[in-house]
Amino acid sequence: MSSISRTEAVKSVAALRAGPPHLAAPVAGIGFAEDVFTPETMKKYLSKEAWKRLMATVEGGKPLDPSIAAEVAHAMRHWAMDRGATHYTHWFLPLNGSTAEKHDAFLELRDGEPVFAFSDKNLIVGEPDASSFPSGGIRSTFEARGYTAWDPTSPAFVKRHSNGATLCIPTAFCAYTGEALDKKTPLLRSVQALSQAVRRLMKCFGRPAAKVAITLGAEQEYFLVDKNFYLARPDLVLTGRTLFGAPSAKLQQLEDHYFGTIKSRVLNFMNEAEQELWRLGIPAKTRHNEVAPAQFEVAPLFEEQNLSCDHNMLVMEVLRQVASRNGLVCLLHEKPFAGVNGSGKHNNWSVAYGGKNLLNPGSNPHENAIFLTTLCSVVEAVDLHADLLRASVASAGNDHRLGANEAPPAVMSVYLGDQLADVIDQIERGELKGSKRASAMKIGVDTLPALPKDATDRNRTSPIAFTGNKFEFRAPGSSASCAGPNVILNTIVAEAMNRIAGELEAGVPLQKVLQKSVKAHRRVIFNGDGYAGDWLREAKRRGLPCARTTPEALKAFKSQANVALFEKVGVFSERELKSRYEIAIADYTAKVMIEGSCALDIARTMILPAVREEYARTLDAGEKSARAGHAGAKSALRSIAKPLGDGIAEMTREIAALEGAVAKGDAAKVLASMEALRRTADALEQRVGDERWPLPKYREMLFLY
C-alpha cells in the first residue's frame, strides 16, 4: 500500500512548496453553464414548437410530449457532440450514496457502416444491468431489471475529461415494479408532496395560485491533504479517516485558519474547481478556509432542491478530481482527523411561493402571518419527527462528528434567536390578536410586533438554525447526498402544513391554530449553547430524543408510525422505507468492519514493528551504556524502554481484542476496541524515534500542503 515512504513523502511536499506545480491560466469570464443543455441553448438546437413543448415539461412539470422526444434527443446529441462528446450516459443516484454512470457511444453500425445515433428511447429510458446496486431487498438479482428514466427538471450536461467528453442525462432509477431504487425518486415525490401542501396552505391565506419552489443551498466542507501523505496512510486510502495519529502540538487552538489567507496552492485548486463547476452551471459562490487546519468550504448559491442535490453530487466529484490533478486529495469524510473539527454539509432550506421566500419575515401583517405559519410548521415538524431527521443524517462517519466538541449534538432542536423566541412566546400566550380592521384578511394578524429583518444572531451550535430567511440544517455529514435529509424535511413539513391547512379550512382562526401548535411543540426550540453538557440533560428532561449512534438512530425508519407517515405523504412505501433501513445498516456495519480490519493491519504491520525496533534499540543502548559504565544513562534508558515494552504488551492484547470483535462482526465492540488500540498506539507515537514512525503525522498532514 505505501508505495512511497513517509520520509520521501515529506521531501516531495517540501519540493512542491518551492513552486506551485499547477498554475491555471486565468480564464476570461466565468463560462457559466457552458456545458449545460440550458433552455437558452435548447432554443438554438430545437424548433420553436418543440422548445415550447419541452419548456412545459421542464418548467411547468407537464409530462413530456412524446411527439417531440426524437427531436429533443437529436438536438441533445448534436449539442453534446459540438462539445466533443462521443458517449452518453444516464446519470443517476443509486442507494450506495454516490453517482452512477454507464457510458454508451453515439455509435451504431448500419449495414456495417458506422453512424452516429441517439434515439428518443435512448434519452427517455435506460435499462442498465444494474444488479449490483444495493436495493435493500426490493429486488433479487434474478429479477435484476432496473430502469433509468429521464428527469427533465435537471438539465443534461457534458462532463469533460482531458481527451473527450460525455453527455450526462440526469435520471431516476426504479425497479420494474416502479419502486424507487435511488435517492432522486423519493426526493421528487417529497418535493411534490410539499408543493401541494404549500399550495393548500397559501389558498387558506387567499393567495392566488403560483409556482412553489423548494430551495436548497448546500455548503460543502472538506479537507485537503497532500497526495503523498495520503498514499502513505492506508487508513485514509481505505476508510477516508485517520484511525491512528497522536495530536499535533498545534491543532486549532489559535483559531488562525478560519477565514485566513488561502495558500496559493489551495487557491489554484479552488479556482480550477470553480471554473469546472461554473461550466456545469453550478453557482459556486463562496470559498474560505474553515476552522480546522487544512479544512475548507465551498458554498454555491441556492437553487431548486432537486437541481441543488444533483449539483452537490457533482461538487463532491469535481473537488475530488481537481484535487487529484493538483497533487492533493480532497477528504469528504465527516471526521478525518481526531481532535479538530469535522466536516458537515450545511443544508440551507426554504420554500418560495410565486418567487417570494415564505421564510422571509414580511413587510406587512399578511406576509408576517404567512411567515409565522411557515415557521411554526417547521417547528412542529421537527418536534414531531426529530427521530427521522436524526436518522436522515446517521452514518458511520457522522457518528464521529455529531455530538463531538464542535458539531451540533445528536439532539434535534430548533434555534430561532431571542427576538423570534419572543414572538413565539406571544403566540403561545395568545397575545397576537386578530385584525379589527375589516379590510384585513380573516386570518390577518396585524398586531404582530414588527419582525426584525435580520432576526437572528448566528448560532453555530444548533442543528437546525433559523438564519434570517431560511433554516440551516447543520447536522448532515460532509459526504452524504443531500437527498436523504431533504426528503425528510420536505415530508415532515408537508405533513405539518397539511394539518395546519386542515384546521384553517375548518374555520379555526389562525391565532388559535398557531397557539396550539406552539404550546405543543415549543420544547424543541432551544436558543442556548447546543455544545454545553447541561443541554443534553435539559433535552432529556424535555423528552427530546437523542440517538447517539447510527444503529440507534436508524430505528426510526422501522416504526409503524413513520411507515404510516411516509405512505400518507406518498414518499415511501413500506417496502421502500424498509429497504432504506437495510441499506443504511449494512453500509454502517461494512464501514466499521473495514475500519476494524484496516486498523488491525496498520497496528500489526506498521506500528508494532516500529515500536519493537525502538524498544530493541533502547535496550541495546542500555546494555552498551552499562558496559561503558554509564550508570546514569543505563537507568535512563531503562526507564525509556519500559513504556515501550509495556506498550507492546498492551497493543498485543488490544489487537487480539479487536481481532475478536472483527471476527464476530460486532460493530460496537469493533469501535470500542479500535478506540483503545488507538489510544495506546498514539501514546507510543510520541515515544518512537521520528524517522522510524511509519505513518505521516498530524502535524505533517494538517500543516504541510
Q: Can you give the binding site for ligand ADP, defined by CB under 6 A?
A: 215-217, 219, 286, 299-302, 348-350, 357, 467, 469-470
Give residue number: closest CB to Mg ion. 346
Cα(374)–Cα(77) distance, rounded to whole angstroms?
43
Q: At what angle do helices 184-204 and 305-325 cross, to 10 degrees?
A: 140
Q: How far is the CB of 621 from ligand ADP (least distance, A)?
A: 55
Work out the number of other CB atoms within 10 angstroms of the CB of residue 96: 14
Q: How far is the CB of 302 from ligand ADP (least distance, A)?
A: 3
Taking the least distance from each CB to ligand ADP, the nearer of 33 and 547 is 33
Secondary structure of 67-133 as H, E, C letters: HHHHHHHHHHHHHHHHCCEEEEEEEECECCCCCECCEEECEEEECCEEEECCCHHHHHEECCCCCCC
**Partner touching 335 among Mg ion, ligand ADP, none, CB below 5 to 8 Å by kind:** none
**Partner touching 302 among Mg ion, ligand ADP, none, CB below 5 to 8 Å by kind:** ligand ADP
- Asked whether 482 and 97 are in contact (CB, 8 A), the reply is no
Strand partners, 85: 165
Work out the number of other CB atoms within 10 angstroms of the CB of residue 135: 23
Strand partners, 226: 328
- Name residues contacting Mg ion, limited to 327-346 (CB under 5 A): 346
- Asked whether 378 and 385 are in contact (CB, 8 A), the reply is no
**Partner touching 469 among Mg ion, ligand ADP, none, CB below 5 to 8 Å by kind:** ligand ADP
Instruction: Give 627's contacts (C-beta < 8 A, 6+ positions apart).
Output: none
**Partner touching 400 among ligand ADP, Mg ion, none, CB below 5 to 8 Å by kind:** none
Q: Phi and psi dihedrals of 131, rounded to 5?
A: -70, -15
Q: How far is the CB of 190 from ligand ADP (least distance, A)?
A: 16
Cα(14)–Cα(685) distance, rounded to whole angstroms?
23
- Over its C-alpha atoms, the chain yields an Rg (Å, rounded) of 28
**Partner touching 357 among Mg ion, ligand ADP, none, CB below 5 to 8 Å by kind:** ligand ADP
Q: How far is the CB of 472 from Mg ion (least distance, A)?
A: 6
Q: How far is the CB of 299 from ligand ADP (least distance, A)?
A: 5
Taking the least distance from each CB to Mg ion, the nearer of 172 and 420 is 420
Q: Distance from CA of residue 610 to its chain's centroid?
A: 37
Q: How far is the CB of 219 from Mg ion (least distance, A)?
A: 5
**Partner touching 87 among ligand ADP, Mg ion, none, CB below 5 to 8 Å by kind:** none
Q: How far is the CB of 352 from ligand ADP (least distance, A)?
A: 7
Taking the least distance from each CB to ligand ADP, the nearer of 191 and 670 is 191
In the three-class reduction of DSSP (H, G, I as helix; E, B as strand; rest coil), residue 481 is classed as coil
Q: How far is the CB of 215 from ligand ADP (least distance, A)?
A: 4
Q: How far is the CB of 453 from ligand ADP (least distance, A)?
A: 14
**Partner touching 216 among Mg ion, ligand ADP, none, CB below 5 to 8 Å by kind:** ligand ADP
- Which runs of E-coded beta strand occur in 125-231? 125-126, 146-150, 157-161, 164-175, 212-226
Instruction: Give 382's contacts (C-beta < 8 A, 6+ positions apart).
Output: 389, 412, 413, 414, 464, 492, 521, 524
Taking the least distance from each CB to ligand ADP, the nearer of 347 and 562 is 347
Helical H runs in 298-400?
305-325, 365-384, 386-392
**Partner touching 286 among ligand ADP, Mg ion, none, CB below 5 to 8 Å by kind:** ligand ADP
Taking the least distance from each CB to Mg ion, the nearer of 53 and 345 is 345
**Partner touching 301 among Mg ion, ligand ADP, none, CB below 5 to 8 Å by kind:** ligand ADP
Work out the number of other CB atoms within 10 angstroms of the CB of residue 441: 17
Work out the number of other CB atoms within 10 angstroms of the CB of residue 657: 17
Taking the least distance from each CB to ligand ADP, the nearer of 356 and 699 is 356
Taking the least distance from each CB to ligand ADP, the nearer of 83 and 470 is 470
Taking the least distance from each CB to Mg ion, the nearer of 241 and 346 is 346
Work out the number of other CB atoms within 10 angstroms of the CB of residue 212: 20
Length in residues, the chain: 705
Taking the least distance from each CB to Mg ion, the nearer of 217 and 240 is 217
Closest CA to 501 of 373, 381, 353, 386: 373
Taking the least distance from each CB to Mg ion, the nearer of 87 and 346 is 346
Cα(511)–Cα(452) distance, rounded to whole angstroms?
20
Taking the least distance from each CB to ligand ADP, the nearer of 373 and 618 is 373
Instruction: Give 421's contacts (C-beta < 8 A, 6+ positions apart).
Output: 525, 527
- Name residues contacting Mg ion, limited to 345-384 (CB under 5 A): 346
Q: How far is the CB of 258 from Mg ion (least distance, A)?
A: 13
**Burial environment of residue 28 by CB neighbours within 10 A (0 to 12, 13 to 18, 19 or more):** exposed
Q: How far is the CB of 361 from ligand ADP (least distance, A)?
A: 13
Taking the least distance from each CB to ligand ADP, the nearer of 300 and 434 is 300
Q: How far is the CB of 48 from Mg ion (least distance, A)?
A: 43
- Asked whether 456 and 466 are in contact (CB, 8 A), the reply is yes
3-state helix, strand, coil in the chain (%, to 5): 50, 15, 35
**Partner touching 398 among ligand ADP, Mg ion, none, CB below 5 to 8 Å by kind:** none
Q: How far is the CB of 55 from ligand ADP (least distance, A)?
A: 24
Taking the least distance from each CB to ligand ADP, the nearer of 79 and 302 is 302
Interface residues with Mg ion (CB under 5 A)? 346
